[in-house]
């Protein structure tokens, strides 16, 4: 049993400390917005924030985040109105939508660290997140919009 603060709530997670954080969040805490895509840190679908920084939850364990602040897509904003989420909707980014929670969490973390990224910094900052439907052009535009408010 490990207690982890998820989206502001101290949450008791049953099971060993080496339980993969992604599955603890999904199966044990019941927060299913965070997705499983590759299990190897290659696609970014499972991206969450640990103390405000983007982390691939399929590569972390419950033990590693004990006492830390975990934020999932469900906790990114109160009403889904984080500037990144708003930009995503303005630009109609998603197709199937499955990777988008991870993309949004990555973009939010990127803008948190670098509020005014250059185009190249956006592309490089989002490189770890795959979108098989191919929404990259709109993702890039949405990150840009969220950063500049344009």
Partner 1 sequence: MLHFLEEAIKAAPKKAVEKLIVAKASRRDFLAGATAAFAIGAYATNADAFARYKTGGDFMPGGVKYDPHTFISIAEDGQVTIVAHRSEMGTGSRTTLPMVVADEMGADWDRVTIVQAEGDEAKYGNQNTDGSRSLRHHIQSMRQMGASVSHMLAAAAAAKWGVDVSTVKVGVHEVTSGSNKAGFGELAADAMKQPVPEFEALSFKDEADFRYIGKGNVSITDLHDITTGKAIYGADVSLPGMKFAAIARPPVVGSSPLKYDASEAWATPGVENVMGLRITGLASAFSPKGGVAVIASNTDAAIKGRDALNIEWGESPHSGYNSEAFTAEMRATAKEPGQILRAEGDTVAAFAGAAKTFSKEYSQAHMAHAMMEPPVAVANVTNGACEIWAPVQSPGDCRAHVAGALGMDPANVKVNVTLLGGGFGRKSKHDFATEAAMLSKKIGAPVKVQWTREDDIQHSFYHTTSVERIEVALDAEDKVTGWRHNSVAPSILSTFAPDSGHQFFIESGMGHLDMPFEIPNISVENGKAMAHTRIGWFRAVSNIPRAWAIQSFASELAHDLGKDDVDMLMELIGSDRKLDPPNQGFPDNFWDYGEVYDEYPIDTMRLKNVLKLAADKGGWGRDMPEGEGLGIAVHRSFVTYTAACVHVKVVDGQVTVPEVHMAVDCGYAANPERIRSQMEGASVMGMTAALHSGVTFENGAAVEGNYNDYEMVRSTNYPLKTHTHIVEHPFSVHASGVGEPGLPPIPPAIANALFHATGVRKRDLPMGVDV
List interacting residues with partner 1 (CB under 8 A): 15-16, 19-20, 22-24, 26-28, 30-40, 42-43, 45, 72-74, 76, 80, 85, 88-89, 92, 94-101, 104, 122-124, 126-140
CA 2 to mean position of chain CA atoms: 22
Residue nearer to partner 1 on the CB measure, 5 or 41: 41
Strand partners, 4: 11
Residue nearer to partner 1 on the CB measure, 5 or 133: 133
CB of 30 to partner 1, least distance (A): 7
CB of 71 to partner 1, least distance (A): 11
CB of 110 to partner 1, least distance (A): 11
DSSP-H helix ranges across the chain: 21-23, 83-90, 100-113, 119-125, 136-148
Residue nearer to partner 1 on the CB measure, 54 or 101: 101
Residue nearer to partner 1 on the CB measure, 40 or 150: 40
As given in the structure block, the two tokens for residue 35 are 């997705």
CB of 32 to partner 1, least distance (A): 4
* Spatial distance between the Cα atoms of 72 and 105, rounded to a whole number of angstroms: 8
CB neighbour list of residue 55: distance below 8 Å, 6 or more residues apart: 47, 48, 49
């Amino acid at each position: 049993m490990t207690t982890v603060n998820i989206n502001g709530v101290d949450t008791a997670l049953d099971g060993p400390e080496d339980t993969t954080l992604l599955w603890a969040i999904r199966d044990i805490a019941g927060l299913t917005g965070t997705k499983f895509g590759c299990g190897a840190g290659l696609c970014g679908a499972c991206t969450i924030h640990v103390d405000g920084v983007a982390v691939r939850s399929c590569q972390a364990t419950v033990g590693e985040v004990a006492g830390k602040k975990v934020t999932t897509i469900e906790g990114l904003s109160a009403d889904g109105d984080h500037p990144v989420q708003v930009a995503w909707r303005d630009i109609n980014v998603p197709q199937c939508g499955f990777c988008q929670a991870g993309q949004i969490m990555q973009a939010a973390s990127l803008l948190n660290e670098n509020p005014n990224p250059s185009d190249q910094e956006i592309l490089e900052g989002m490189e770890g997140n795959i979108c098989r439907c191919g929404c990259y052009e709109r993702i890039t535009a949405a990150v840009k919009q969220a950063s500049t408010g344009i």
